[in-house]
Chains A and B, each alone.
Chain A
Amino acid sequence: MGFFAPWFLAGIAAVGLPVWLHLLKKHRSDPRPFPSLMLFERREVSSVKHRRLEHLVLFALRAAMLILLALLFANPFIRRAIPIARQKHLTVIAVDDSFSMRAGNRLQQAKDQAQSILASLRPGDPVQVVALGAQIQTLTQPTTDLAEARAAIHSIQPADSRASFGELARYSRTLAESVQSPIELDLVSDLQKSAMPPGFADLRLDPGTNLVLHQVGDAAPNWTVESVTAPRRVYDPKKVRIQAIIAGFGAPAAKRAVSLLLNGKSLQTKTVDVPENGRAQVEFLGLDAPYGFSRGEVRIDSADILAADDHYDFAVERADPKKILFVDDGRHPRAELYYKAALDASPDSAFTLESLRPEQAANAKLANYALIVVSDLGALAGGFEDSLKGYVSSGGALLIALGPASAAAPRVPVLDEAIQSSAYAHPEGEMFLSVSELDTGDPVMRAVERFDGVKFYQAIRVTSAKSRVLARLNDGTPLVLERAIGEGKVMAFTSTFDNTANDLPLHAAWVPFVQRSAEYLGGEGSDQPVNVTADSYIELRASGDKTGAAEVLFDGRRLLSLEEAASARNFAVHNEGFYELKTASGRRSLIAVHADRRESDLAVIPKETLDLWKATGSDDSASGAPASADQGDKKPWGLWPILLLILLGVAVAESIVADRHLKPPPAVEKSKRKEAA
């Protein structure tokens, strides 16, 4: 017998209360006043003995109530042995079908082992088959139909997921709560070390769960292409650099031939020395990719048992850089210089910059430009502003810088926000403005790291009635505003792009600000990664976007049903290879999926760790002895319902006894009622 909460037993000390009360009551003479005892005679008329006896019964009941209450809170239990013969174990066969099981014929061995476990069961024994990956895939519900279980095992195919023993333990705990019977968990796996969760506590099993491990395969040397770094877009094929990391797990030092392939065609091959249990880097220069999406691959010529991780897929898109029009009237000659320098800072810049005067720009075909930058022109000529409005409404993007020329204008062109005044600070003195508020949810603002250290000496104070303020100076002046007009976007920067009104171009924040804003406004900005690991999710549509249909193609097969294509927000990719994606907004991309390279490490969990894991499912976990299926399990059985019933009975008895002995005489009651009236 034990207690779930033994510290509540201290409550038994409360029995002292009725002891004290009854003793006090016993010794308390409660004389009733009477006018005269002239007519009374002193004689032995007391019946104290009788009264004491009755009060002792009351005391005993009250003490029993308190003791029972303390016991109830302490929640006692006894261990009841459940004979093995009377119990039906649920046998759960978990077959590891993770990426590492592709090594050799491990998966087939695992399936054979699972079939043999199934064969050892008696008819009528409940069994469940699950596949172990990053998540548990239940192939059957608990069933006594062994043929169904056999078919489920047979249907298991190699997957590209990463195994998670933590997920298996969590599943077994949940199952134990629902089935209310002992579980024998047969894990058929290569027991890969990398499948262990970060914390051992995540492996904890329910006390009624008996873990039986069936290992297939042993640790083996393995080389793999661990990662590839490639640009998602190629604008100048000669400038492209592709880097690959070649890793060896449990492997001796070796030379490996590394090849770069594009659309199945080998472009370059290099040899690299991979150190023992180490990594080596290979870099390929230039990628002569055709326009559009291409399927890239880095491959090594390893002769290990896991051939599936000898190649690493990546996707690239060949495109021409987009044009940005920089409109400047010569008032800020250094603005274009700073802007262009920032734009070209990246080796594979997606944009080229053209500069025009306002009068030239008014006659240019604006639709040819992905982004138009207007550098402090003040009030625009009516025709040019109308052209800009039409360009933005039809999906174009405009970035406006405001400066001294704009201070006298009544409003910001196109953005249509009123200009109120200028906010000044002296450039020579210590007076300057800085950014105090930043909308970090915005992709452009997130990149600029709060404009740290940037000093603003002049900013144009504009209203923000129609626009969203992305950044604000410490005097409340909006610094960056954004507004969507039609299908396009307008962004306003209320200071100049040179270093006359601020020193932003001299700070590190300038380059990401220019590049991110150009990508965001020019249509290059996309958070969708194109190289992902298996079991990741790819986004099909933005939140709240109900228009358009998404499409996912894999090996020429459509993976989405009509309903999913019309409404699904994201999609999980489980297999290695290339997925052709068309989002609901119509953007097309090619996504390369590769298995998690932690699966490439075939090291096995040490035996001591496995023993500890098995012991978590046994009641004798302290002794470290694994639970045996032949032993009868002892389960704690709570006694609180019985105690509660007894307590109720005692409470009723106490009420009756107390009412009988402590009720005041009718005369006193009557006088009390009169007094109350």
Chain B
Amino acid sequence: MLQRFLDPSVLAGISGLDLIAKTVVDGFIAGLHRSPDFGFSQEFAEYRAYTPGDDLRHVDWNVFARTERAFLKRYRGETNSQLTILLDASRSMKFGSHATDKLEYAKFLAASLAYLAHMQRDAAGLIVFDDEVRRYVRASSRQGQLARILHAIENAQAGARTDFARPFLTLQEFLRRRGIVAAISDFWEQPAKIVQTVEPLRYRGNDLILFHVLDPEEIHPRLRHPALLEDLETGEAMEVSPDYVSHEYRSKVDAHLEDLRTRAKGAGIDYFLIDTSRPLDAALREYLAIRKGKM
């Protein structure tokens, strides 16, 4: 049942990203057999000694009355993190060999991540980019933040070609708290350059997850006849033969993926390849596993 709802083609039939995200996340959580310990209750977590500058509203005055020492009462909900989603809206993301194209799939994923963060009281932010930043929603846990993020995701349109340098530079400027950065893209760039671009974020204590979204036709394209292929971003056209696609291209793309995975791992970056024909829960599971480990 859950698998059916997480199927991309089924999700594409649901109107409204909030409903999609709710369907995915609620269904996914309900499918887990135990409640997550990172839930959204106001459960007591710990006391911390007051230090000047702390908000007096959080002082436990009962403890102060008994002990005359000021402690701050902290709840689990306050041990929050910050999630920043980088959504690639370049023209190549518009490609799709079946009902859901890559950009649509990436939108579902981004919305689900934002919803999940919202449920955990995590601050969430969004950057939509192609060759420059198209939309930026500052990370926050304020009321209405989820709606802002979902609106921004919904309005994301496939734009120009991908250029990682500028959006990541922007992100470095805006990112003041450590947190989790989830980059959703097809990463059609040299792996070395990608890792080189995103690595500085890792140095600042951020957890980086690369969601590599690819269409099955990109990984294993099938051609019966020679065809003229046109690059969606550059407009360059090239005639290719079925032989090349079935042999050389496949080995090249495998090597490309492996190279990116290896380089990301080497740089301490989590890498996850997502095939748009697969359900969304695998991507979410990956994210939650990382999230849990970083709490």
Contact = CB atoms under 8 A, between A and B. Distances in A.
Given A35-B218, A675-B99, A40 B229 contact: yes
B45 interface: no
A32 B228 contact: yes
Given A33-B232, A671-B98, A40 B227 contact: no
A45 interface: yes
A587 B224 CA distance: 97
Interface centre among A29, A36, A39, by most B CB within 10 Å?
A: A36
B218 A37 contact: no
A30 interface: yes
Contacts of B253: 39
Contact of B230 (A31, A41, A47): A31
- Counting from the closest, the 10 A-B pairs by CB-CB distance are A45-B241, A35-B92, A36-B188, A31-B230, A34-B229, A31-B228, A35-B95, A665-B224, A37-B231, A39-B252
Interface in A8-56: 29-43, 45-48, 51
Contacts of B223: 665
A106 to B, nearest CB: 90
A35 B243 contact: no
Given A40-B229, A46-B226, A34 B95 contact: yes
A466 B9 CA distance: 83
B57 interface: no
A39 B23 CA distance: 37
B78 interface: no
B239 A45 contact: yes
A45 B237 CA distance: 13
Given A32-B228, A674-B9, A38 B188 contact: yes
Interface of B: 9, 92-93, 95, 97-99, 102, 186, 188-189, 215, 217-218, 221-234, 236-241, 243-244, 248-249, 252-253, 256
A43 B249 CA distance: 13
A667 interface: yes
A40 B232 contact: no
A32 B98 contact: no
B239 A665 contact: no
Given A34-B95, A48-B226, 11 more contacts: A29-B237, A30-B228, A34-B231, A35-B95, A35-B215, A36-B188, A36-B231, A40-B240, A43-B244, A47-B241, A671-B98
A45 B233 contact: no
Contact of B95 (A33, A39, A45, A665): A33
Interface centre among B234, B240, B244, by most A CB within 10 Å?
A: B240
B239 A46 contact: yes
Contacts of B93: 35
Contacts of A35: 92-93, 95, 102, 186, 188, 215, 218, 231-233
A32 B92 contact: no
Nearest to A661: B225
A667 B217 contact: yes
B243 A45 contact: yes
B71 to A, nearest CB: 56
Contacts, number: 89
Contacts of B225: 51, 665
14 contacts: A31-B229, A32-B227, A33-B229, A34-B229, A35-B233, A36-B233, A37-B234, A39-B256, A43-B244, A45-B226, A46-B241, A51-B226, A665-B222, A667-B222
A41 B238 CA distance: 8
B103 to A, nearest CB: 11
Contacts of A37: 229, 231, 234, 236, 238
A47 B244 contact: no
Interface string A660-673: 00000111000100
Contacts of B222: 665-667
Contacts of B229: 31-34, 37, 40
Given A37-B236, A39-B253, A665-B222, A671 B97 contact: yes
A665 B9 CA distance: 22
A499 B229 CA distance: 106
Nearest to B92: A35
A122 B238 CA distance: 87
Interface in A371-395: none
Nearest to B243: A45
B113 to A, nearest CB: 23
Given A31-B229, A34-B231, A42 B224 contact: no
A47 B242 CA distance: 11
Contacts of B99: 674-675
B232 A45 contact: no
A36 B243 contact: no
B232 to A, nearest CB: 5
B36 to A, nearest CB: 35
Contacts of A666: 222, 224
A35 B90 CA distance: 10
A32 B188 CA distance: 18
A648 B149 CA distance: 64
Contacts of B239: 45-46
Contact of B240 (A30, A45, A675): A45
A671 B239 CA distance: 22
Given A37-B238, A45-B241, A45-B244, A32 B230 contact: yes
A45 B241 CA distance: 5
A36 to B, nearest CB: 4
B170 to A, nearest CB: 23
A38 B256 CA distance: 10
A361 B195 CA distance: 138
B256 A34 contact: no
A308 B229 CA distance: 104
Contacts of B249: 39-40
Contacts of B224: 665-666
A29 B228 contact: yes
A39 B231 CA distance: 11
Contacts of B240: 40, 45
Contact of A31 (B217, B237, B252): B237
Nearest to A47: B226
A36 B241 contact: no
Contacts of A38: 188-189
Interface centre among A29, A40, A47, A51, by most B CB within 10 Å?
A: A40
A282 B99 CA distance: 109
Interface centre among B189, B231, B234, B248, by most A CB within 10 Å?
A: B231
A68 B239 CA distance: 38
Given A40-B249, A665-B224, A667-B217, A33 B230 contact: yes
B232 A36 contact: yes
Nearest to B231: A37
A36 B234 CA distance: 8
Nearest to A36: B188
Interface centre among A29, A37, A43, A675, by most B CB within 10 Å?
A: A37
A666 B225 CA distance: 12
A223 B253 CA distance: 118
A47 B223 CA distance: 13
A657 to B, nearest CB: 15
Contacts of B98: 671, 674
B244 to A, nearest CB: 6
A51 B226 CA distance: 10
A617 to B, nearest CB: 65
Interface in A630-675: 665-667, 671, 674-675
A29 B238 CA distance: 11
Nearest to A667: B222
Interface string A419-443: 0000000000000000000000000
A32 B218 CA distance: 13
Nearest to B95: A35
B77 to A, nearest CB: 41
Nearest to A43: B244
